[in-house]
């Protein structure tokens, strides 16, 4: 029995969900997202304002896909209703970021600035030159863009300089000794 899959996905007000043969579509104020599922092993039914996911048989494959399918459907429903946000912090002297249109321009101590184009449906904002906020309906795109920005200059353990997630702990090392 799946601990996650047995709970129905509650569809909030303002979100419409449609279930087709092997596709679930969710439409809300932040856009429209869809999620494929394995129709050979999983049943997905729309019951009022709930989406109920159940396995077709008690096979290992069906049990494995049951909770995953429910979690994916919950993610798209939450994404089109509330959205997802990742916050990044820039730590280091001279490290700064600014937004021009849909482009993020980063100064991270290299000889040149780094320009990052935001994918469609993703919003980038800078509350201050050292704070970056990435938000959108698609959880995967938000996390992927945040990870790509962090990869330009990961936090280093000696001074803690770099791009890090908000609240991320950077384990510090002691420097050279005489």
149 contact partners, CB below 8 Å, separation of at least 6: 88, 104, 106, 116, 132, 134, 163
**pTM exceeding the 0.85 threshold for the entire prediction:** yes
CB 134 within 8 A of CB 142: yes
Domain that holds residue 149: 84-165
Residue 170 lies in a domain: no
What's the average model confidence in pLDDT over 161-176? Answer: 93
**Token code pair at residue 42:** 């999983």
The pLDDT assigned to 21 comes to 87
**Token code pair at residue 128:** 């201050």
Same domain for 72 and 110: no
Same domain for 147 and 131: yes
> Where does a domain end: 28, 46, 81?
81
Residue 110 lies in a domain: yes
Same domain for 90 and 43: no
* pLDDT exceeds cutoff 90 at 24: yes
User: Quick one: what percent of the chain has pLDDT higher than 90?
Assistant: 87
CATH code of 98's domain: 3.90.930.12
Percentage helix, strand, coil for the chain under 3-state DSSP, each rounded to 5: 20, 40, 40
What's the average model confidence in pLDDT over 56-83? Answer: 93
* pLDDT exceeds cutoff 80 at 1: no
Sign of CA dihedral 141, 142, 146, 147: negative
Residue 174 lies in a domain: no
Residue 173 lies in a domain: no
Residue 116 lies in a domain: yes
What's the average model confidence in pLDDT over 4-26? Answer: 92
């Amino acid at each position: 029995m799946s601990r996650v899959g047995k709970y129905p996905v509650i569809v909030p007000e303002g979100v419409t969900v449609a279930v087709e043969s092997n596709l679930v579509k969710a439409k809300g104020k932040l856009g429209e997202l869809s999620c494929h599922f394995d129709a050979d092993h999983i049943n997905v039914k729309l019951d009022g304002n709930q989406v109920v996911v159940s396995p077709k048989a008690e096979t290992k494959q069906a049990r494995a896909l049951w909770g995953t399918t429910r979690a994916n459907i919950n993610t798209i429903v939450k994404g089109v209703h509330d959205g997802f946000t990742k916050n990044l912090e820039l730590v280091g002297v001279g490290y700064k970021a600014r937004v021009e249109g849909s482009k993020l321009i980063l100064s991270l101590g290299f000889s040149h600035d780094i320009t990052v184009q935001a994918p469609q449906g993703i919003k980038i904002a800078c509350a201050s030159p050292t704070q970056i906020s990435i938000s959108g309906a698609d959880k995967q795109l938000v996390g992927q863009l945040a990870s790509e920005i962090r990869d330009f200059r990961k936090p280093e353990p000696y001074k803690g300089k770099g791009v890090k997630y908000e609240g991320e702990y950077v384990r510090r090392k002691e420097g050279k000794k005489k």
